[in-house]
Amino acid sequence: MARRTEPAVAASSQWIDDDDGIRYPRGDTHAWTPGTNQTLCGVPLSRARLARFPHVPWSEALYLADTGEHGVVPCRRCTAATRHDRPRWTRTDPRP
């Protein structure tokens, strides 16, 4: 059975925190499942030249985007793919 983990972040740029020296994403950010070579919306990491941030969870990237001081722009399709508050589409009345 596959392990379900929270996606990490892949981004087009980075910034380094002065206090603790950790890399953080900046620019266009995408949700990425570690161990794969593409984002949740289907963008290949190597062709798009996206840097991987396996230590930054996707929820933290959304928080950084809400604060607005570091220029993080989350992908709309990746954000929709990670939403778990609504069930996915299911057919309720199939045709015979």
Half-sphere exposure of 32 (CA within 13 A, CB side): 27
For 14, the enclosing helix (H) or strand (E) is strand 8-16
21 by DSSP, 3-state: which? coil
Give CA–CA dist 38/46, Å, rounded: 8
For position 1, what pLDDT does the model report?
A: 44
What per-residue string of b and e applies to 8-26 under the rule 16 or more CB within 10 Å gives b? bbbbeeebeeeeeeeebbb
Question: Domain spans of the chain?
Answer: 8-81
- Block means of pLDDT (10 residues each) for the chain, 96 residues, are 74 91 92 90 91 92 85 90 74 74
Which secondary structure element, helix H or strand E, spans residue 79, and what is its range?
helix 76-81
